[in-house]
Amino acid sequence: MKIDLSDPSFIVAAMALVGTIFTYFKHDKKIKAQEKLINDYQLGKIEEEKIQKMQAEVRASIIVGNKGLRTLRVYNKGKASAKNVRLILHDEPECLYSLNPFPFPLLNEHENVDLNIHLHMGSPDNISFELLWDDAFKMNNSHLQTVQLR
């Protein structure tokens, strides 16, 4: 069998073959680029989850009680234990008559510690404070917060 290079069917078949090869490699390059993006995203998510498992997240909220009693609840909503939890009140108000349990040695995930606040005439409407703690990820984490008492 002799191949005639001037035969139009041979030229069309050769062009189709070259086009198919070109399309295959172009498509393969796109697929590999997408796979790399997906892999990088998944690796980033895994790394982020590792870091979150090492971090505590200490926050506070006010619980309203009867007749001017408020409870400042300090809680850990992170996934790791918070060690050496400290509460630094800015301009410590006179309404804090209860014993301050801080520094608190250990606050595990979803645990809390309460500080009672007794309001009276002239008590401030809100208090500002800083929460400090250590965890497996970092020492001396901090969070500034203001809560409303009334």
Per-residue pLDDT of 60-96, as tens digits, reads 999 998 888 888 999 999 999 999 999 988 776 665 6
* Average pLDDT of span 30-37: 94
Q: How far is CA 75 from CA 99, 102, 147, in A?
A: 18, 13, 14
pTM of the model: 0.73
Q: What is residue 117's predicted lDDT score, i.e. its pLDDT?
A: 84
CA distance 114 to 23: 67
* Average pLDDT of span 34-47: 95
Bridge partners (DSSP) of residue 131 are 87, 143
Cβ atoms within 10 Å of 31's Cβ, excluding its own: 10
Q: What is residue 54's predicted lDDT score, i.e. its pLDDT?
A: 93
Residue 46 DSSP SS3: helix
Q: What is residue 9's predicted lDDT score, i.e. its pLDDT?
A: 85
Q: What is residue 102's predicted lDDT score, i.e. its pLDDT?
A: 82
CA distance 19 to 132: 65
Query: Regarding beta strands 58-64 and 126-134, do their DSSP bridges make them parallel or antiparallel, or are they unpaired?
Result: unpaired
Q: What is residue 50's predicted lDDT score, i.e. its pLDDT?
A: 93
Number of helices and strands in the chain (H, E): 1, 7
Q: What is residue 94's predicted lDDT score, i.e. its pLDDT?
A: 61
Per-residue pLDDT tens digits for 109-144: 999 999 888 887 878 888 889 999 999 999 999 999
Q: What is residue 97's predicted lDDT score, i.e. its pLDDT?
A: 55
Q: What is residue 85's predicted lDDT score, i.e. its pLDDT?
A: 95
